[in-house]
Amino acid sequence: MEKKDQEIKVRFPEKLMGGSYANHMIVLHTKEEFIMDFIMASPPAGSVTARVITSPGHMKRIINALQDNVKKYEEKFGKLKEAQAPKGFIAPEVKPA
């Protein structure tokens, strides 16, 4: 008997509907996980707007999905130019706000 894919209903919390803006990202990793800190950098300050922690296997899937979507974007709208990194050195402050 063929097994059907199970539908997964995803709840989208209202407080996340607006999204978070980031113009910089720091990626760290251990053997077990990747940590992505998304940052809104506006010199002389900045703040982390989101932190995503995922497994190495899921990180590979994220990279593939991003590459696929950039390819589709460029096919539709033209070649992307890489944005300039924020000026200055990003120095994470690791204490609760």
Tens of pLDDT, residues 58-85? 999 999 999 999 999 999 999 999 988 7
The percentage of residues in the chain with a pLDDT greater than 70, rounded to a whole number, is 87
User: What DSSP element (H or E) covers 86?
Assistant: none
In a domain, 44, yes or no: yes
In a domain, 36, yes or no: yes
Distance CA 20, CA 28 (A): 20
In a domain, 1, yes or no: no
Helix (H, G, I), strand (E, B) or coil at 88: coil
In a domain, 15, yes or no: no
In a domain, 63, yes or no: yes
Instruction: Work out how many domains the chain is built from and give that number.
Output: 1
In a domain, 54, yes or no: yes
In a domain, 7, yes or no: no
Mean per-residue pLDDT of the chain: 89
Domain that holds residue 60: 21-77
Q: pLDDT by residue (tens digit) across 2-57?
A: 778 899 999 989 998 999 999 999 999 999 999 999 999 887 888 999 999 999 99
Contact of 36 with 48, CB cutoff 8 Å = no
In a domain, 97, yes or no: no
